[in-house]
A and B are shown apart, each in its own frame.
Chain A
């Protein structure tokens, strides 16, 4: 089994954003800089190899994600649902990652997503990452930390 690549994560992130939240995203080569608050969501998994997926974005993007998922305007309800929407997005990303990377025949276990809002960029990126920008310009970064074989 080949190691996952940034291209694999980019395709995963792009397709789940479209299917879950009707969002069209473009891959970006350079890791985006986050100005201000960062919403960080994490989910752990166990399969042939264990690991963690991490999703980083802005609170504004979280509002946009929530609004699209709920089919509402990006107002107060979407703002208050933003963190939950990003957690759920990562939940779907996690399940999709397990199936696409390890296969549907392999028993896998997904943890529960957690999230926190940080005042700045959380630090060193994980080993494999994908970055996209939404039409609004908001960045999303999906990172994977896969245990050694």
Chain B
């Protein structure tokens, strides 16, 4: 088994069925998980912020940091491996609100809103999601089966 870890602002797609894609530290960030069961191609993005208009220069260096640049790029990586949009399902995890200080606007919810906007425009539904709340999450995609698990603390649950 190959463990491929995706950091903040990172994205990966693979057709290697021995791979497990994993990303940790999902607080307000969101992991977008794509899988094509026909071809056993999987992808994962760990984005931190909703819109690249906040920092175009940073988006150019690290497009995966933002939902609006990272999500299309992840789909391109899937297509490059032979996937077709109609065969891909979408899952998501994260978007929590970990900071309860007054005056902190809810980045987690905003990330989720931007993700939903992009997917709606792309005519894609979310098959399942584990979002919100105030927990940290780790997301894993097992490329051989398409199984997704979400871990919070010691609890591991399927998505």
Question: Which residues of A pack against B, CB within 8 Å?
Answer: 18-19, 22, 24, 68, 71-72, 135
Known: A22-B113, A22-B114, A24-B114. A72 touches B50 (CB 8 A): no
Closest beta carbon of chain B to A122's beta carbon, Å: 30
Closest beta carbon of chain B to A80's beta carbon, Å: 18
Q: List 21 A-B contacts (CB under 8 A).
A: A18-B109, A18-B110, A18-B113, A19-B113, A22-B113, A22-B114, A22-B116, A22-B117, A22-B120, A24-B50, A24-B51, A24-B110, A24-B113, A24-B114, A68-B117, A71-B120, A71-B121, A71-B123, A72-B121, A135-B51, A135-B53
Give the dominant DSSP class at B's interface: helix
Closest beta carbon of chain B to A68's beta carbon, Å: 6
Chain A positions within 8 Å of B116 at CB level: 22
Nearest chain-A residue to B50 (Cβ)?
A24
Question: Which residues of B pack against A, CB within 8 Å?
Answer: 50-51, 53, 109-110, 113-114, 116-117, 120-121, 123
Chain B positions within 8 Å of A68 at CB level: 117
Chain A positions within 8 Å of B113 at CB level: 18-19, 22, 24
Chain B positions within 8 Å of A24 at CB level: 50-51, 110, 113-114
A71 to B114, CA, bound (A): 12
A19 to B117, CA, bound (A): 10
A19 to B51, CA, bound (A): 17
Nearest chain-A residue to B116 (Cβ)?
A22
Nearest chain-A residue to B121 (Cβ)?
A71
Chain A positions within 8 Å of B51 at CB level: 24, 135
Closest 4 CB pairs of A and B: A22-B117, A71-B120, A71-B121, A18-B113
Additional pairs, 7, CB under 8 Å, beyond known A18-B113, A22-B120, A24-B114:
A22-B114, A22-B116, A24-B51, A68-B117, A71-B120, A135-B51, A135-B53
A117 to B139, CA, bound (A): 49
Nearest chain-B residue to A24 (Cβ)?
B110
A88 to B103, CA, bound (A): 30
